[in-house]
Amino acid sequence: MKNKKNSRKNGIRQVEKTLINVGLRIAKRGEGALFVVGEIDYKPLVEQKVPAFDIINNEKLLESLAIIDGAVIIDKRGMMRAYGVMIKSTKTLKGFGTRHSAGVSASLGKKVSLVVLVSEEDKKIRILKNGKMIMQIDALQKDVEKSVSTAVELLESIGAGTLGTIGTTLLIPALGISLLPGIIVFGSAYYLGKLLTRSWK
């Protein structure tokens, strides 16, 4: 049972790592993308000609589909289920485009575990859970790729904390704590305290 749980946890980490790595490449080129991990209602904007595939072993294919207008839907096992789809926005963000609104709305879905939003405007990756931003990664930070594995570990530790209400943190990243170069973490004081204590040891 423990081995199965660890295997599932490692699988989720690999999915998160893949999405961040692909997102960094897209952001560095000044393009945008939206990845939704979980189940959500959507409307295809393009004909779905590419069958489901494992994103961990097919990063290049994922990257090419991600830059098509719309979101990419991935299940929790890391299988790409749909691309170029529209997600109904239930939240709007003043000063931000439709991708941000769709990302925040998607992150509120009961069966959505994670949303990775790549912003073409500021070349940042924003990771959302439960309508809150929990991490922001600056694709232009030198050697940010070296911090991706640690960032994925932090994702599991912070959950969806009380800080990081979307709208505020997008504009004031100082509300988060930078534990890694180019990466700002948002979460409850309890989680951040634990992380800081662990990082000082």
Q: Which residue has the higher pLDDT, 182 or 18?
A: 18
What pLDDT is stored for residue 40 in this prediction?
Answer: 95
Quick one: what percent of the chain has pLDDT higher than 90?
44
What pLDDT is stored for residue 8 in this prediction?
Answer: 62
Asked whether the predicted pLDDT for residue 119 surpasses 50, the reply is yes
Asked whether the predicted pLDDT for residue 27 surpasses 50, the reply is yes
Quick one: what percent of the chain has pLDDT higher than 70?
73
Confidence label for 182 from pLDDT (cuts 50, 70 and 90): confident
CA dist., res. 7 & res. 15, Å (int):
12
Task: Please give the C-alpha separations between residue 177 and each of 122, 147, 158, 198, in angstroms, as whole numbers.
Answer: 19, 15, 12, 14
Asked whether the predicted pLDDT for residue 138 surpasses 80, the reply is yes
Domain extent for 87:
2-200
User: Which of 1-15, 18-32, 163-177 is predicted least confidently?
Assistant: 163-177
Asked whether the predicted pLDDT for residue 142 surpasses 80, the reply is yes
What does the pLDDT average to over 34-52?
96
Q: What is the DSSP string of 93-160?
A: -TTS-HHHHHHHHHHT-TTEEEEEEE-TTT-EEEEEETTEEEEEEETTSTTGGGGHHHHHHHHHHH-S
Residue 195: CA count within 13 A, CB half-sphere: 24
pLDDT in tens, 159-172: 544 334 433 334 33
What pLDDT is stored for residue 13 in this prediction?
Answer: 87
pLDDT in tens, 50-105: 999 999 999 999 999 999 999 999 998 999 999 999 998 887 766 677 888 899 89
Q: What is the CATH number of the domain that holds 73?
A: 3.40.1700.10
**How many structural domains comprise the chain?**
1
Give pTM, 2 decimals: 0.81
What pLDDT is stored for residue 132 in this prediction?
Answer: 80
